[in-house]
A and B are shown apart, each in its own frame.
Chain A
């Protein structure tokens, strides 16, 4: 059973289209994240949310928006997709802890997005 699921797994779209990537989790975690992975660059944080009413920009939020519809759901939108947003996108979750010592994040399987 997948604890963190992402839909769709693959998507091809055209420049200028609006795209939404969805993430759901059954881990009961408060904290959710969206990352982008490009070859040779590791993962870069786009947005993160520590609870339903909390949304924060990450390193590369320009051109993206997010919505935390419920504790278990966190969606990423590209309002007007462009080719350099072609990448692998990952959602992740983590539990709220009293300190900073155990920020293990659990990742979804990823969405491969291609913008033509």
Chain B
């Protein structure tokens, strides 16, 4: 079945550091890929998405490229801010049948000033 594996956290960085959170997936067919973010005390919000191979999703300075050859969708940001502190979830949907999302376990990111 479909599955998502994320880089284990927690991750702690200083402000303005470069961020990478790794995400790899296993899926049949051609899934769509998502990054969701959960700020403290809130629900999940879609951060970015990509629906086909080589697509790049981007939002708020974050980027992720759908790499079919390596089955990856790593999240990157060139210069993080304290306000980026949150939990980040990689997810996929696709294959036959229901449009269900399968989530990774989440990566907690803390940015120190």
B105 in contact with A40 (CB, 8 Å) = yes
Q: With both chains docked as a complex, state the minimum distance between the C-beta of A88 and any C-beta of chain B, in angstroms.
A: 9
* A104 with B89, Cβ < 8 A, contacts A42-B103, A42-B106 known: no
**Which residues of B sit under 8 angstroms from A92, Cβ to Cβ?**
44
| B43 near A103: Cβ-Cβ < 8 Å | no
Choose from A41, A56, A102, A103 the contact partner of B101 (Cβ within 8 Å).
A103
A45-B100 contact in complex given A101-B51, A103-B93, C-beta closer than 8 Å? yes
A interface residues, how many (CB within 8 angstroms):
28
B89-113: which have CB < 8 Å to A? 89, 93-95, 98-101, 103-106
Give complex CA distance A101, B95 in Å: 10
Interface positions, chain B 29-48, Cβ under 8 Å from A, are 32, 34, 36, 41-46
Knowing A107-B43, A107-B44 are in contact, say whether A100-B93 is a contact too (CB < 8 A): yes
What are 28 A-B residue pairs whose CB atoms fall within 8 Å in the complex?
A4-B43, A31-B99, A40-B106, A42-B4, A42-B89, A42-B105, A43-B89, A44-B103, A45-B100, A48-B100, A56-B98, A90-B44, A94-B99, A100-B94, A100-B95, A101-B52, A102-B32, A103-B93, A103-B101, A104-B34, A104-B46, A104-B49, A105-B46, A106-B46, A107-B36, A108-B43, A109-B43, A110-B43
A positions within 8 Å CB-CB of B: 4, 31, 33, 40-45, 48, 50, 56, 58, 90, 92, 94, 97, 100-110
